[in-house]
Amino acid sequence: MDTAPIEAKLREIGAQAEALQAELARPEVTADPDAIRRLGRELARLRPVVDAFHRLEETRAELAGARELRDDGPDEELRALARDEVARLEAEETAQVEALKVLLLPRDPNDDRNVILEIRAGAGGEEAALFAGDLLRMYLRYAERHRFRPEVMSLSGTGIGGVKEAIVEISGDGAYSRLKFEGGTHRVQRVPTTESSGRIHTSTATVVVMPEAEEAEVEIDEEKDLRIDVKRSSGPGGQSVNTTDSAVRVTHFPSGLVVEIQDEKSQHKNKAKALAVLRARLLEIERTKQREAESAARRSMIGAGDRVDKIRTYNFPQNRVTDHRIGLDLSNLPGVLDGNLDRLFDALITTDQAERLRHLVEEEAGAPA
């Protein structure tokens, strides 16, 4: 395959990195912490590509020397050694080119954002609510393991520890890039604790994953578009946990969306959280419209925004977790529910990259997209 277009792109990225380095050295920039952070993030994004290209150039220089020795070496022993070295370096060059293609794939602009996760009990009554609670704890444990900052923004529970609905913000660099494939229907198969006959029940919970929206990205006219109602926060079973009107319910007239957040401390804090969730939902609606407008061939096989597909089954009797999108089985269900999700997430990300790379290669070869 002709690698000239790839190399041209790599040299362009190298020039961008050099320009950023020069910009960071300017006195007016060194005195501006915001500019340093912004330029530093951009340089950090380009650095893996630049470093990988430098390694490729070094490999190619070694390969040229090995080929010369293979063809014109002074004796057969050296030529034989050179032939082995050429084979090794050619394989290394191929692997480095493939790795660079992955690095050059269009980057999801939302990958570095914080995440808003919504978890809701589905079919299965109280058992579905208990499973939703399991998923909530799983994501909280994952966030803690990776030093993300999880915050439960809203929680509607049941009397025996289940979760009807939870909204969680997970903050930290790369949070969305790790969690973005979790949206969809999760299914559990197990014997409920209340089941005396030992029959296995199947229940579901749905997860929605949204990148947190910047305030400037979603225009909301608070006076015209919103109705904001306040009431007293309440705890489990309707018990009052606050003697002031701090719970906030926001209704967005243009979309019909309703967000309700309650916190024990502050009405203003609840309103800010509710507006953050509303902006994320409105941004997700727009992103869904864009995805639907794309051709099917351009969509990732993972389906990051598909909320309805059954994506994963948690089978307790068999101690197995199955991700149906990529056919991956893991025999460590307790570990997964304890937040050990990296094998799943890494496999999903790798599969998504491979699929996008395949489409890129087809487009370069002139295949229909």
CA–CA dist 119, 129 (Å, integer): 10
- pLDDT tens, 184-242? 999 999 998 767 677 899 999 999 999 988 877 788 888 888 999 887 666 544 444 44
**Separation of CA 243 from chain center:** 39
- pLDDT tens, 64-103? 999 999 998 888 999 999 999 999 999 999 999 888 888 8
First to last CA, the chain: 18
Pairing of strands 310-315, 184-190: parallel
What is the reported pLDDT for 242? 45
CA–CA dist 344, 342 (Å, integer): 5
Task: Identify the CA nearest to 58 among candidates 105, 91, 21, 96.
Answer: 96
Which residue did the predictor score with more confidence, 342 or 233?
342
pLDDT-derived band at 9 (thresholds 50, 70, 90) equals confident
pTM score, two decimals? 0.72
For tokens 């864009």, the residue is: 290
What is the reported pLDDT for 238? 42
Q: Rounded to a whole number, what is the largest CA-CA distance in the chain?
A: 92
CA distances from 82 to 17, 185, 202 (A): 36, 55, 61
What is the reported pLDDT for 305? 38
- pLDDT tens, 133-189? 999 999 999 999 999 999 999 899 887 889 999 999 999 988 999 999 999 999 999
Which residue did the predictor score with more confidence, 97 or 245?
97
pLDDT-derived band at 2 (thresholds 50, 70, 90) equals low
What is the reported pLDDT for 365? 58
pLDDT-derived band at 301 (thresholds 50, 70, 90) equals very low
- pLDDT tens, 306-319? 334 799 999 999 99
Mean pLDDT score, 294-311: 52
Give backbone dihedrals phi and psi of 210, rounded to 5 degrees, phi first: -130, 135
pLDDT-derived band at 1 (thresholds 50, 70, 90) equals very low
CA–CA dist 92, 222 (Å, integer): 58
CB-CB neighbours of 245 under 10 Å: 12
Average pLDDT, the chain: 85
Stated length of the chain: 369
pLDDT at 279 over 80: yes
pLDDT at 297 over 80: no
Least confident of 13-22, 136-145, 166-175, 262-271: 262-271
